[in-house]
Structure 1
Amino acid sequence: MPPPQDPTPAPTPPPDNHVHTGWSWDTASASTMARACERAIALGLPAIAFTEHLDFTVWDPDDRATDEGLVERHASRHAEIDVQGYFAELAEVRERFPQLRIWSGVEAGEPHLFSASIAAHLRNGPVDRVLGSLHSLPEGGRLYGVGHLLWEDADGTMRRYLAEVVDMVESSDVFQVLAHVDFPRRYWPGGIHRYAEKDFEEEYRQVFGALARTGRALEVNTSSPLASVDQVRWFREEGGEAISFGSDAHQPGAVGQRFDLAVDIVEAAGFRPGRDPFDFWRR
């Protein structure tokens, strides 16, 4: 006689709210929406958001970047999103994969510096999901990727980074989700194991308090070194109410990566699934 089967269905994983395809400037053209959707379906994800990089190398006179005297990005490979091509492929996968909810989106880099440029883009291509990200910091009239600055002063750069994230949260209301709050950790001198999260608790709490006051979601990014239970709990203790899960995938095989571990972390910090499978997780 076969052993009795557990009648309890497996829980539905959360949506992947942060996925890149070949429409992002740093992602290979072989990373198609269709392949990402196939991966999402295989994992049982209820939804996926294609949040392509929205970064600027030329900005609007009305952007804060202009007011602050920024003139260029250092060693930039950034490129514009092909809006027409992006939405054409999105329509194709929505028709091909009706069992999967598929959201449009952008990952807006430094949105507090480029509000006019972002607004112009979104007028031409409105989307379902907008992530806010900080990848670069200003220095001497140029924007530098934080990985470039860490080698000069890692702790000082990290504190400056988190202070800039507070400014970004307080100065921009265009995004719904704060992505990879500790992005510089990916490039920590000597290896990520040398990064001491606790050393920056006060700065993290400043970010989380600012974000909580806006009611927006914090992303647990599974391409980055995973957030600790402590970090997610700090967000909850500062009044944070919503968590988004994002693989930050730049290739289809990374969609939904390590979501099982991320779910364990988020649950241990006191968050639970939201109103339906497509919602953020809630406190």
Structure 2
Amino acid sequence: MRPPDNHVHTRWSWDTPDSSTMRQACERAVRLGLPSIAFTEHLDFTVWHEDDAATSQGLVDRHPAHQLPIDVEGYAAELEECRDRFPDLRILSGVETGEPHLFAASVTAHLRRTPVDRVLGSLHSLSLDGRLVGVGRLLYADPAGTMRRYLAEVVTMIETSDVFQVLAHVDFPRRYWPGGTHRYVEKTYEEEYRAVFRALAGTGRALEVNTSSPLASVDQVRWFHEEGGEAVSFGSDAHQPTAVGQHFDVAVDVVEAAGFRPGRDRFDFWRR
């Protein structure tokens, strides 16, 4: 049983090429036999509301600041076109909110204007000298310290933001690990992971198994299960159509070995 792909980007995300269309992503999903796909475009802020925590914390900008707003009209039009074209594929609208705990007012205003079906919560950046800096840029000076700081900030994000349904790529910094991802030792950060998973389990929200990042181990997903985690979501984090549903067969094996099974129906999260 193939799970839904709950984390897909298209040309409506600022970091995704114009050639990556929803139609191509849907065609790939249908070929793979996926029951549904969620187009979760990046919702990141370079200008934010005065009521956001980012303001009260004294943050003034991002570095680098390539993020752009979502063209919500263009996004909505292409989404409806695909829903008409692929009636047997469930197609969800969505966003991936970067640092939602820092931008609660801005996120709320966006979702009030443009409601969506699926909201992912992500941490891509940490604060440094009044700026939000991409975590990959912070790793080289102090990999272990940055990773621990990152996971502690994820706990804060979970505890202070309830806007998202799924925690995306919990070990995002692994993608940029100095010397290569093979040098990352997951076990070193077990207690920090478990703190994240306890916090997430306490809210009943889902943990994403991201198949674009270095794939989560059975141990990591089992830690979530042992800490009371209830649900797992699969996400390719595709930024091109050919990556939709990538490595899902292996991801299913990982999730099943950790103690999760298909949910209430084929569109559901997998559950304990």
What TM-score do the two structures reach when normalised by structure 1?
0.96
Partner of 1:47: 36
CA offset at residue 162 of structure 1? Answer: 0.0
CA offset at residue 75 of structure 1? Answer: 1.7
Note the residue ranges of structure 1 that are not aligned, 5 or more in a row: 1-11
Structure 2 residue 202 is the aligned partner of structure 1 residue 213: yes
Partner of 1:57: 46
Which of 145, 159, 173 pairs up with 1:184?
173
Which of 180, 185, 190 pairs up with 1:196?
185
Distance in 1 separating the partners of 2:93 and 2:63: 29
1:50 partner SS? strand
RMSD: 0.3
Count of residue pairs the alignment pairs up = 272
Please tell me whether Structure 1 or Structure 2 has the larger radius of gyration of its CA atoms: 1
Structure 2 residue 223 is the aligned partner of structure 1 residue 234: yes
Distance in 2 separating the partners of 1:235 and 1:180: 13
2:212 partner SS? coil
Partner of 1:265: 254
**Cα-to-partner distance string for 1:53-101 (whole Å, 9 max, x where unaligned):** 0000001000000000000001211000001110011000000000100
**Cα-to-partner distance string for 1:132-154 (whole Å, 9 max, x where unaligned):** 00000001100000000000100
CA offset at residue 167 of structure 1? Answer: 0.1
Distance in 1 separating the partners of 2:239 and 2:113: 25
Which of 146, 163, 168 pairs up with 1:157?
146
2:121 partner SS? strand
Percent identity over paired residues: 77
What TM-score do the two structures reach when normalised by structure 2?
1.00
Stretches of 4+ aligned residues off by more than 3 angstroms: none
1:218 partner SS? strand
The within-5 A match list for 1:64-213 is: 64-213=53-202
